[in-house]
Amino acid sequence: MRAVARGRAPRGNGEGEPVPLARPREDPAREPDPLERLVREQLALLGEDPDREGLRRTPLRVAQSLRELTAGYQADIDAIINDALFTVDYDEMVCVKDITYYSLCEHHALPFFGKAHVAYVPDKRVVGLSKIPRLVEVFARRLQLQERMTRQIANILQQKLRPLGVGVVLEARHLCMEMRGAQSLLSPTVTSTMLGCFQKDARTREEFLDIIKGCRS
């Protein structure tokens, strides 16, 4: 047997439910974010008037967006998963597939986004299913490379759960390609990291990849 769940970037609140990474809130008495000044300078350097009506609050909005989209740097992974680790008598594959994520390419600060598929074979320890999309979001909310993000997700699960193996596959569309002249490159980029039995055992790896194919059909 195997456990398969369909994931998505965590939203919502409440006991036992994933909580989104903190979103900066506007405070009338706050000190200006240094990023606001830099965005304002960028607008001026581009030939725009940062004081015109449509752009007057743009530096604030951009600064808040950047803080939110890079909130993964401040995330405490232990706080996220330590209360959701359980000892179980289960040694078949656990897979959370079709997790929607959004990230920023570190080369151009433009979005890349797609689906993450994460699986592991437990060795007496499992993590709450909602925590896997949460971990994907933690590593997506940074300036990233798709290749690095794939490995980071696999490595943290291997480190925290000590399973028999971990498999991670990321599919992504990169706007740094699509918006900058490579419009024909609309097929997703796929990266994978296989650890433990996913790397050593072809049958385990094939089972994982078959599960992923099933979510496309």
- Active-site annotation, residues: 105-108, 146, 174, 176
**At residue 53, what is the residue type?**
E
Burial class (CB in 10 A: 0-12, 13-18, 19+), 29: exposed
Return the residue matching tokens 């959004």: 102
CB atoms < 10 A from the CB of 73, how many? 10
Name the CA radius of gyration of the chain, rounded. 20
Residues contacting residue 142 through CB under 8 Å, at least 6 positions apart: 70, 72, 73, 103, 104, 149
